[in-house]
Amino acid sequence: ANVAMAEKETITNAALLGLNITTDQGRKKTWAPARKERPNEQVYQSSRWVPVIKDIMEDA
């Protein structure tokens, strides 16, 4: 888009202040850790949510 330099600076300053600025170009995928397989867990465990931090702590 044709945005004036003053408007670009305003957008940049807003981003520096913590506002979320989205662009249409070059959208990056967010990183998601690989989930751990838990074969020895009981069958009902598949319906229970396991936090990602548990996988990270077990691997550490």
Tens digits of residue pLDDT in 8-25: 899 888 888 888 877 766
Residue 11 lies in a domain: no
Q: How far is Cα 48 from Cα 60, in angstroms, rounded to an integer?
A: 23
Distance of CA 8 to the CA centre of its chain: 26
Show the tokens assigned to 41: 């867990």
Show the tokens assigned to 10: 């305003």
Residue 15 lies in a domain: no
Domain hosting 50: range is 35-60
Residue 51 lies in a domain: yes
In the chain, the number of structural domains is 1
Residue 25 lies in a domain: no
SS3 content of the chain, % helix, strand, coil (to 5): 40, 0, 60
**pLDDT at 45 exceeding the cut of 60:** no
**pLDDT at 7 exceeding the cut of 60:** yes
Q: How far is Cα 25 from Cα 28, in angstroms, rounded to an integer?
A: 9
